[in-house]
Structure 1
Amino acid sequence: MHDDRRKREVDADIDHDVASVLYAADPASFPAHACAIALLAVVYVAYEGDGPLPLFCVLLHGVAICLAIGLWSWRWRRPSRFGARRWIGLHALRNVALYGAPGLSAWFAFQHASAALAAAHIVLLVALTTLAYAANALNALNLRSAMVPLLLPAATLHVLQADNGRLALGVALLIIIVAVDLLASQYRDVHRDLAVARAEQQRLAQIIARQKGVIKEASIARTRFFAAASHDLRQPLHAIGLLAHSLADRRASEAEREATAQHIVDNVEALNHLFNQVLDLARLESGVTQAMPQHFHLSDVLARIEQQFRPAAAAKGLALRIAPTSCVAFTDPVLLERVVANLVSNAVRYTERGAVWIGVRRSASPERCFVEVRDSGIGIAPQEHELVFEEFYQAPLAGRDRREGHGLGLSTVRRLTRLLGGEPMLRSAPGRGTTMRVPVRTGDPSLVTASLVAAPVMSAFIDGRRVLCVDEDPANLEALGALLTRWGCVVRGCPDELAAVRAISEGFVPDVLLCDYRIDSHQTGIEAMQAVREALRRRGHHGLARVLITGDMASPELAALVAEGVPVLHKPVTPTRLRRTLDVLLQPRSEGHEAA
């Protein structure tokens, strides 16, 4: 399909070039045809015995030239009136009339006994053939519509009156027609190759121009990102420094010290929140954040959101309304919760009175529904709708406190929603509140394995499984081992690759490998994973589930691991996230295939 489209584009370019060349050559041909008319008039009209026919032929040639000049002028004035193909076709019709008049006039040469007159007429026709080739060789239709009316009548008359060497001349004229046509065909092939090369060169130039544009935009965005991040990081640090000096002032009262300490706490929280948002955005940008879909009740996510934001809404006197729903989703519940949490956080932050409504709306398609967050807040102007999704962009609002937001929430929402396979939708107007919709794929109620709001329970998928943990930090190994043991797992902790391979040689065959990315300065967790898999393969064991835990934001190795479908969990990893990851990996294929 792509090749057909490229061929159509090349053909269109060639047609445009041919039409331009055909009409560009016309002005130079008009004087030549005028000279041909003059010669015909002098030679044939002077003979009184031929009657009015020579005069009619001369007039016909003159009319044809006038039509040709009119067609050329029309295209010069209104080139967009027709497409290239239509202009080429009109030019071919013009050629039939323009070259047919001198071609038919060959009949008059046969009415005279003078061989010199006939030879001179043939010379004139051959000269016009040269002109026809020079002006029309790029198009077969135009070349033939000129040569055939010009030479075929003379060739036919010579062949039919095969005396005094006329047969040989007629055959020669036919050979000229064929030879010129073949020569023009080769010329057209060369022109097409050049057109294809030029089109490819233009395509590459466009790609390079687009890539340069993308690089330029990325550079501008990076500069804006670092400038904004530097400003927003310096603001709370600057405030903390000043507040710390105030706190050390012995002349301050106890109440003033408490207020100062609270301001420090507020700025530290703002700084911590900004760091978390920047790290989240960096993980999304690096492409190592993975979506691990599972079937769950959307009401569970909404209940967690309600529990998280009801105190903040109540403190501002806002009603937080959660619409009941029975919808089941098939997506990553953790990432979806982060999306909805960002939306609700914005709604609570920028709503001074009224309510924040959260619910699920059905879609026209049974395969999709929408999580909707609506508020009665200040709203967003239409010209800001696209801008608010950019990093560090904040719509201009009077009296905004920089600690209330950093312009990363909606950018994270858009990236996470795209990672989940959708696009966030915004509907808002100043003073009329804001509505945000996030599309969610619907799931199967029969495949829901656990509640997201209930206390973590041991699933049958993980109970009794053998887990090999590789981490050079003894504290991490101890904590991870204790957690997995409480979940009913049989755990073996190893500080490096050699210890892990030794554990396998001693008979410990793991179902799951949990490996830290940074083991030591000379080895990564990916190498340890490969060594463990090879050790198991030599003993005939396959089907090892792998999970990599890392604090790195971006790495080509991590991206390659994600592409293989290996879960990459970024520190700090919560027990809930780890348990859900293991549940998805250890589900039987009949149940977990879709979730994988």
Structure 2
Amino acid sequence: MRDDAIQRAIDEDLARVLYAQDALAFFTHWFVIAVLVSIYWGDMPYPQWFAACFVFYAVVNCASMGLLLYRRRRPAALSARNWIRLHALRGALLCSAPGLSIWFAFQTPQSDLPVLHTVILATLAAGVFMSNGFDVLNFSTNITLVLVPAIVLLFGSHNFDRTILAVVLTFFFCAVNLYAMSYRKLFQRVVEARVDQQQLAESLAEQKQRADEASLAKTRFFAAASHDLRQPLHAVSLLAASLNDASVTPVQHAKTADHIVNNVEALNQLFNQVLDLARLETGATQVIRLHFRLDDLFERVGSQYRPQAAAKGLALRIAPTTMVVYDDPVLLERVLSNLLSNAVRYTGEGAIWMGLRRAGRRSGGYIEVRDSGIGIAAAEQERIFEEFYQVANPQRDASQGHGLGLPTVRRLIGLLGGELNLRSAPGRGSVFRFPVQAGDPAALVASLSDTAAGGPSAQGRQVLCIDDDPSTLEGLTSLLGRWGCIARGVRNEALALRALEEGFVPDAVLSDFRLANHRTGVEALTTVREALQRKGQEGAVMLLITGEMASGELAALATQGVPVLHKPVTPARLRRMLETLWQQAEQDRARSAV
């Protein structure tokens, strides 16, 4: 790409420089015609041939001026490279007349005329070097036609003085060619430097434009987010104030409390959506791919939205499939949940369909979510992926969502390595489609539909929890205890090592990211892992829990495949993650034992 741009720039500059010299060259050639005609005027050999040669010379010189004027009037008529080729043809015709005219000098009895004619040609050759040395085609053609005939005739005269002159002229011919090569290299370096500087300036301008657009988008995002976050907060503050009114009846109190709960839920939902987008933007969202049955995921997501669809009189149809896919089930569930939520929200009657289509793919296929809803006009189909933009909600009714679902879906699918496609028309519904990769049935994890409240995976497991916040540590160990785990909570890595020395052998180690004394969970997990390896106990899984979104260490962990959960973490999400990690560890041990 850069080489093409440089070559185009070189061609354009060459064409400009070559034709810029033609006005001066026009008068120079007329001067050469006048000098040569005056030299031969008194004793003109072969007058007819001589006249024909110099008439041709004059006509071509005038034609070259006409070519210059044509280029100035219509510079876009030819490409730069074709203008250069046309100039070379013009130069060949123009230089052939004076170059071949040296023959007349050898047809006269005057012994000094070949020398004088040669000097004039050498002077003309110097002018050719100055005006055409930038381009190999023009220079090689012109200098050859000007000097080579004289060199040949001088060597062929078998005269000592003329042979010496031929040698000098040959040396001059070689020298100007060498200088022209250096000339061209210098010219190319200058053009390359100019092109690089121009590309750098364009790149900086483009980056500045992108930065300005990103800044404007961020301003719009925060303005919309702050509005939608303030609305439920404002409502909660007003409703909470009414609870202190002694004249309010118990029924009104209960109704107010319900309103407060609804606003808090809306606030929590919006807050989580904003955090999801922020994590995606900062690269903190981690992809953990597993082999699982797609049917399990469909059933899990479908069961969440069947009641909502039924309440609106919609049929939610989920096509059965036996495919095993290799993907992140958690992120994929968020994608499908957002798509189904939108489909239910914007479909007034008819049906919603979710399923897998092979569409000619040998491995994997495409997940599609179809609805018979309001549809999306072509002009709106790109804007719906902007944060807080909603086609059918100009009043910004919070009950209709906040316009963050589809932007999140597009970013999640991009993170998973796919591309979201949309087909839609007003009144004819919408189809969202994205690819999934086929998995290995031999590496299946347990059913995604298993509940998080029990099961043999957690029963009796020993879990070491590291967190410097006592209330968080108490809540985490209590939750694990209800699952049947043997949980032990410590506040730092030193106490974690002491627990290991006392004989506590964890099946899992959970750590917060930010710990006391400027320590991190990464350092704590590394220390615990090394201590377990020294004891020959390498089966424990490691899990980091954090509330941060933008951290170089977290981004590095994501690329290394170290599991990271972002707060707030639901019990179901934590349980499913632990069970998945334990299953993977058991499969790895089974494969290594074979």
Give the TM-score normalised by the residue count of structure 2: 0.90
What amino acid does structure 2 have at the position aligned with 1:577? R
Pick one of 375, 379, 382 that aligns with 1:379.
Answer: 375
Moved more, 30-39 or 74-83: 74-83
Aligned position for 1:44: 40
Go from structure 1 to structure 2 and tell me whether the alpha carbon gap of 1:548 and 1:258 turns closer, same or farther (over 3 Å shift): closer
Q: Using the alignment, how far apart are the partners of 1:60 and 1:143 within structure 2?
A: 21
> How many Å apart are 1:410 and its aligned residue?
0.6
Q: Are the equivalent residues in 2 in contact too, given 1:294–1:584 (CA < 8 A)?
A: no
Pick one of 327, 330, 335 that aligns with 1:334.
Answer: 330
Matched, 1:131 2:127: yes
Pick one of 142, 154, 157 that aligns with 1:146.
Answer: 142
Please give the secondary structure, in 1, of the residue aligned with 2:354: strand
> How many Å apart are 1:140 and its aligned residue?
2.1
Q: Are the equivalent residues in 2 in contact too, given 1:318–1:353 (CA < 8 A)?
A: yes
Pick one of 302, 312, 317 that aligns with 2:313.
Answer: 317
Go from structure 1 to structure 2 and tell me whether the alpha carbon gap of 1:480 and 1:586 turns closer, same or farther (over 3 Å shift): farther
Q: How does 1:89-168 map to 2 (within 5 A)?
A: 89-163=85-159, 165-168=161-164
What amino acid does structure 1 have at the position aligned with 2:36? L
Q: Are the equivalent residues in 2 in contact too, given 1:323–1:360 (CA < 8 A)?
A: yes
Matched, 1:23 2:22: no
Matched, 1:9 2:5: yes
Q: Using the alignment, how far apart are the partners of 2:582 and 2:537 within structure 1?
A: 21
> How many Å apart are 1:202 and its aligned residue?
2.4
Q: Are the equivalent residues in 2 in contact too, given 1:41–1:55 (CA < 8 A)?
A: no
What amino acid does structure 2 have at the position aligned with 1:139? D
Go from structure 1 to structure 2 and tell me whether the alpha carbon gap of 1:36 and 1:48 turns closer, same or farther (over 3 Å shift): closer
Q: Using the alignment, how far apart are the partners of 2:172 and 2:583 within structure 1?
A: 80
> How many Å apart are 1:246 and its aligned residue?
4.9
What amino acid does structure 1 have at the position aligned with 2:433? R
Please give the secondary structure, in 2, of the residue aligned with 1:523: coil
Aligned position for 2:303: 307
Q: Using the alignment, how far apart are the partners of 1:399 and 1:487 within structure 2?
A: 45
Provide, for residues 303-336 of structure 1, a one-character-per-residue CA deviation record: whole Å limited to 9, x for no partner.
Answer: 2222211222222232222222222221111111
Go from structure 1 to structure 2 and tell me whether the alpha carbon gap of 1:199 and 1:587 turns closer, same or farther (over 3 Å shift): farther
> How many Å apart are 1:213 and its aligned residue?
2.1
What amino acid does structure 1 have at the position aligned with 2:581? L
> How many Å apart are 1:223 and its aligned residue?
0.4
Q: Are the equivalent residues in 2 in contact too, given 1:389–1:414 (CA < 8 A)?
A: yes
> How many Å apart are 1:193 and its aligned residue?
1.9
Matched, 1:265 2:235: no
Provide, for residues 172-195 of structure 1, a one-character-per-residue CA deviation record: whole Å limited to 9, x for no partner.
Answer: 111111111111111112122222
Aligned position for 1:213: 209
Q: Using the alignment, how far apart are the partners of 1:592 and 1:290 within structure 2?
A: 25
Moved more, 219-228 or 208-217: 208-217
Go from structure 1 to structure 2 and tell me whether the alpha carbon gap of 1:31 and 1:540 turns closer, same or farther (over 3 Å shift): farther
Matched, 1:178 2:165: no
Please give the secondary structure, in 1, of the residue aligned with 2:434: strand
Please give the secondary structure, in 1, of the residue aligned with 2:21: helix
Please give the secondary structure, in 2, of the residue aligned with 1:454: coil
Q: Using the alignment, how far apart are the partners of 1:537 and 1:253 within structure 2?
A: 65
Matched, 1:570 2:566: yes
What amino acid does structure 2 have at the position aligned with 1:276? N
Aligned position for 1:86: 82
Aligned position for 1:288: 284
Aligned position for 2:347: 351
Aligned position for 1:586: 585
Q: Using the alignment, how far apart are the partners of 1:584 and 1:168 within structure 2?
A: 94
Q: Using the alignment, how far apart are the partners of 2:45 and 2:405 within structure 1?
A: 98
> How many Å apart are 1:353 and its aligned residue?
2.3
Q: Using the alignment, how far apart are the partners of 1:381 and 1:90 within structure 2?
A: 53
> How many Å apart are 1:375 and its aligned residue?
1.8
> How many Å apart are 1:260 and its aligned residue?
4.2
Go from structure 1 to structure 2 and tell me whether the alpha carbon gap of 1:528 and 1:426 turns closer, same or farther (over 3 Å shift): same
Q: Using the alignment, how far apart are the partners of 2:396 and 2:489 within structure 1?
A: 51
Provide, for residues 211-258 of structure 1, a one-character-per-residue CA deviation record: whole Å limited to 9, x for no partner.
Answer: 212211211111011100111112222233334455555556666555
Q: Using the alignment, how far apart are the partners of 1:215 and 1:351 within structure 2?
A: 38
Q: Using the alignment, how far apart are the partners of 2:455 and 2:253 within structure 1?
A: 48
Aligned position for 1:513: 509
Q: Using the alignment, how far apart are the partners of 1:64 and 1:133 within structure 2?
A: 20
Q: Using the alignment, how far apart are the partners of 1:197 and 1:395 within structure 2?
A: 49
Go from structure 1 to structure 2 and tell me whether the alpha carbon gap of 1:478 and 1:314 turns closer, same or farther (over 3 Å shift): same
Aligned position for 1:410: 406
Go from structure 1 to structure 2 and tell me whether the alpha carbon gap of 1:267 and 1:478 turns closer, same or farther (over 3 Å shift): closer
What amino acid does structure 2 have at the position aligned with 1:321? R
Please give the secondary structure, in 2, of the residue aligned with 1:392: coil
> How many Å apart are 1:529 and its aligned residue?
2.4
Give the TM-score normalised by the residue count of structure 1: 0.90
What amino acid does structure 2 have at the position aligned with 1:390? E
Superposition RMSD on alpha carbons, in Å?
A: 2.9
Please give the secondary structure, in 1, of the residue aligned with 2:543: strand
Please give the secondary structure, in 2, of the residue aligned with 1:12: helix
Matched, 1:401 2:389: no
Aligned position for 1:555: 551
Q: Using the alignment, how far apart are the partners of 1:9 and 1:183 within structure 2?
A: 26
Q: Using the alignment, how far apart are the partners of 2:384 and 2:583 within structure 1?
A: 35
What amino acid does structure 1 have at the position aligned with 2:448? L
Moved more, 423-432 or 227-236: 423-432
> How many Å apart are 1:42 and its aligned residue?
3.1
Moved more, 556-565 or 242-251: 242-251
Q: Using the alignment, how far apart are the partners of 1:191 and 1:129 within structure 2?
A: 20
Aligned position for 2:363: 367
Go from structure 1 to structure 2 and tell me whether the alpha carbon gap of 1:491 and 1:293 turns closer, same or farther (over 3 Å shift): same
Q: Are the equivalent residues in 2 in contact too, given 1:447–1:591 (CA < 8 A)?
A: no
Matched, 1:471 2:467: yes
Matched, 1:239 2:239: no
Please give the secondary structure, in 1, of the residue aligned with 2:320: coil
Go from structure 1 to structure 2 and tell me whether the alpha carbon gap of 1:362 and 1:11 turns closer, same or farther (over 3 Å shift): same
Please give the secondary structure, in 2, of the residue aligned with 1:522: coil
Q: Using the alignment, how far apart are the partners of 1:247 and 1:479 within structure 2?
A: 30
Q: Using the alignment, how far apart are the partners of 2:525 and 2:268 within structure 1?
A: 33
Q: Are the equivalent residues in 2 in contact too, given 1:366–1:442 (CA < 8 A)?
A: no
Aligned position for 2:165: 169
Go from structure 1 to structure 2 and tell me whether the alpha carbon gap of 1:364 and 1:164 turns closer, same or farther (over 3 Å shift): closer
Aligned position for 1:193: 189
Q: Using the alignment, how far apart are the partners of 1:541 and 1:16 within structure 2?
A: 71
Q: Using the alignment, how far apart are the partners of 2:137 and 2:321 within structure 1?
A: 70
Over the matched positions of the two proteins, sequence identity in percent amounts to 50
Please give the secondary structure, in 2, of the residue aligned with 1:165: helix
> How many Å apart are 1:120 and its aligned residue?
3.3
Q: Using the alignment, how far apart are the partners of 1:68 and 1:48 within structure 2?
A: 27
Moved more, 45-54 or 493-502: 45-54
Q: Are the equivalent residues in 2 in contact too, given 1:550–1:570 (CA < 8 A)?
A: yes
Q: Using the alignment, how far apart are the partners of 1:313 and 1:592 within structure 2?
A: 44
Q: Using the alignment, how far apart are the partners of 2:474 and 2:530 within structure 1?
A: 26
Q: Using the alignment, how far apart are the partners of 2:484 and 2:251 within structure 1?
A: 52
Q: Using the alignment, how far apart are the partners of 1:544 and 1:100 within structure 2?
A: 89
> How many Å apart are 1:499 and its aligned residue?
1.6
Provide, for residues 388-441 of structure 1, a one-character-per-residue CA deviation record: whole Å limited to 9, x for no partner.
Answer: 111112225466523321111111111111111112121222222222123222
Q: Using the alignment, how far apart are the partners of 2:54 and 2:6 within structure 1?
A: 41
Aligned position for 1:55: 51
Go from structure 1 to structure 2 and tell me whether the alpha carbon gap of 1:425 and 1:459 turns closer, same or farther (over 3 Å shift): farther
Provide, for residues 503-546 of structure 1, a one-character-per-residue CA deviation record: whole Å limited to 9, x for no partner.
Answer: 44556565643221122252221221233344456667767643
Provide, for residues 30-78 of structure 1, a one-character-per-residue CA deviation record: whole Å limited to 9, x for no partner.
Answer: 1111222223333335535533111011022123224423443444344
